[in-house]
Chain A
Amino acid sequence: EVQLVESGGGLVQPGGSLRLSCAASGFTFSSYWMSWVRQAPGKGLEWVANIKQDGSEKYYVDSVKGRFTISRDNAKNSLYLQMNSLRAEDTAVYYCAREGRVAVAGTGIYWYFDLWGRGTLVTVSS
């Protein structure tokens, strides 16, 4: 079955750290860009970070730069998010998402989040 399963969420105090994991199965993990997307309680979706197939390129939303690190282990079909210096505003459900891409001749490469995990809740509170 094609799926993504997140783990590692929980309650952490402000200033603390947490490492999220995402286990991929049913597809060739090493062929895809991967992202983390979060959703604060009752709020909308926010892209957090993504990583290229070989880990050579990584990008982050401004609000987490210098605090979060995305990484992957293709041998283990796993994606990670190391979160340091956590703040109350980082409280959210964190989703792992696969980036599908399609090339259209003469137009460009379109990409989208075509596979999502169920998410893991991170609560930052004292």
Chain B
Amino acid sequence: DIQMTQSPSSLSASVGDRVTITCRASQSISSYLNWYQQKPGKAPKLLIYAASSLQSGVPSRFSGSGSGTDFTLTISSLQPEDFATYYCQQSYSTPSFGPGTKVDIK
């Protein structure tokens, strides 16, 4: 099974900050990596698929990069509605998620 890790596990940031979250796979997964946003009490929402493709309707301040084992999600200018938990997920084999990164207000 492919294990996913994320760093940091949490971070505090201010509106307007640039935020970067890292995801690492235990083996190469090419670009089979997706990112989700989840707010408390809500279902996850797809942000990025295939490592760098922006899902329809998602603001362009979200971007993804990476391939192989190392990936990043970047929010170029954090907005109030972006405070949430972010998960990466690999779809190279039996799907697995990272443990999540909680982004809260500084």
Neighbour of A112 across the interface among B38, B91, B96, CB < 8 A = B91
Interface size in chain A (residues, C-beta < 8 A): 23
Nearest to A119 among chain B residues (CB) is: B43
Interface flags for A96-126 (1: CB within 8 Å of B; 0: not) read 0000101010011011111011110000000
B68 contacts the other chain (CB 8 A):
no
Interface size in chain B (residues, C-beta < 8 A): 25
Label chain B's interface by main secondary structure. loop
Q: How far is the CB of A119 from chain B (nearest CB, A)?
A: 6
Contact A114-B46, Cβ < 8 Å, known A45-B89, A47-B97: yes
Contact A47-B43, Cβ < 8 Å, known A110-B32, A110-B50: no
Q: In the assembly, what is the distance between CA of A113 and CA of B98, in Å?
A: 15
* Residue ranges of A at the interface with B (Cβ–Cβ < 8 Å): 35, 44-47, 50, 59, 61, 95, 100, 102, 104, 107-108, 110-114, 116-119
